[in-house]
């Protein structure tokens, strides 16, 4: 290993090398991602842009270990996500990776507090102070006992963001996190994501259609037809 290699291991939280992803649909192979290589540094904010259907969500789910590439490698903090058992991958997602979905994916039968606590509880951990800190950070302390159906879209997404950050992940992925929100809530959620990225020094990778948001990013990656441009 040369000096450059050891440097890249220290500063890159995420490294994807030559990712390909194909699906077989009615006996036809569809190549959705083609030869994608990218890296994200610790604490960096990267925006991913591209037309609908270009492969952004597929890419994000591979980078976050929610799905596996057909070929290629995804390394998180030096650990190869494509070479792990389901169990190891689940543990890695719990400890190092946060994910925010466009459609929130809150658990309807749990309160705001319980939703935020959920990643800790499945890891058999408890950290009331951390949950309080996140409730405060997303300005939902007063809604801690509410259920998702009692919340506005913006409040639901703020709950999902707090849940994604509760276990102090090294990297937070968000797939069009403001796509289901009106302009005012979208602005608030974006501001919040940026504030938390800075406060917790979490790397942030966001898929977005919003050019004003992409401008705030340290770097923008554009995907056209499954390839980085």
Ligand X SMILES: Nc1ncnc2c1ncn2[C@@H]1O[C@H](COP(=O)(O)OP(=O)(O)O)[C@@H](O)[C@H]1O
Residue 98 interface partner, choices ligand X, Mg ion, none, CB cut-off 5-8 Å depending on type: none
CA distance 96 to 73: 17
Give phi and psi for 36, each to the nearest 5.
-95, 120
Indicate whether 123 belongs to the interface with ligand X (CB under 6 A): no
The smaller minimum CB distance to ligand X, of residues 2 and 52, is found at 52
The smaller minimum CB distance to ligand X, of residues 63 and 116, is found at 63
Q: How many helices and strands (H and E) does the chain possess?
A: 8, 10
Indicate whether 58 belongs to the interface with ligand X (CB under 6 A): yes
Within the chain, residue ranges assigned H as helices are: 3-11, 56-63, 86-96, 112-122, 128-137, 153-165, 183-200, 211-216
The smaller minimum CB distance to ligand X, of residues 52 and 85, is found at 52
| Residues in 14-33 that interact with ligand X by CB under 6 A | 23, 25, 30, 32
| Residues in 49-78 that interact with Mg ion by CB under 5 A | 57
Count the residues of the shown chain that bind ligand X, applying the rule CB under 6 A.
Answer: 12
Selected binder of ligand X within 57, 115, 185, 188 (CB under 6 A) = 57
Q: C-beta of 198: minimal distance to Mg ion in Å?
A: 26
The answer to whether the CB of 154 falls within 8 A of the CB of 189 is yes
The smaller minimum CB distance to ligand X, of residues 43 and 179, is found at 179
The answer to whether the CB of 91 falls within 8 A of the CB of 68 is no
The smaller minimum CB distance to Mg ion, of residues 57 and 159, is found at 57
Instruction: Name which of 82, 93, 227 is nearest 173 in CA terms.
Output: 93
Residues contributing to the site for ligand X (CB under 6 A): 23, 25, 30, 32, 50, 52-58
């Amino acid at each position: 290993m040369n000096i450059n290699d050891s440097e890249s291991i220290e500063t890159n939280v995420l490294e994807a090398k030559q990712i390909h992803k194909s699906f077989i649909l009615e006996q036809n192979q569809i190549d959705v991602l083609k030869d994608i290589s990218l890296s994200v540094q610790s604490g960096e904010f990267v925006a991913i842009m591209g037309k609908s259907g270009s492969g952004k969500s597929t890419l994000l789910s591979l980078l976050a270990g929610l799905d596996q590439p057909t070929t290629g490698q995804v390394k998180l903090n030096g650990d190869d996500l494509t070479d792990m058992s389901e169990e190891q991958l689940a543990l890695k997602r719990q400890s190092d990776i946060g994910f925010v979905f466009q459609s929130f994916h809150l658990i309807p039968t749990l309160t705001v507090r319980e939703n935020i606590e959920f990643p800790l509880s499945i890891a058999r951990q408890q950290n009331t102070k951390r949950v309080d800190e996140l409730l405060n950070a997303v300005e939902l302390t007063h809604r801690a006992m509410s259920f998702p159906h009692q919340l506005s879209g913006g409040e639901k997404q703020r709950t999902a963001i707090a849940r994604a950050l509760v276990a102090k992940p090294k990297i937070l992925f968000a797939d069009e996190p403001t796509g289901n929100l009106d302009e005012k809530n979208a602005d608030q959620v974006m501001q919040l994501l940026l504030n938390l990225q800075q406060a917790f020094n979490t790397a942030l990778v966001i898929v977005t259609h919003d050019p004003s948001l992409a401008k705030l990013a340290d770097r923008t990656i554009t995907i056209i037809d499954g390839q980085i441009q």
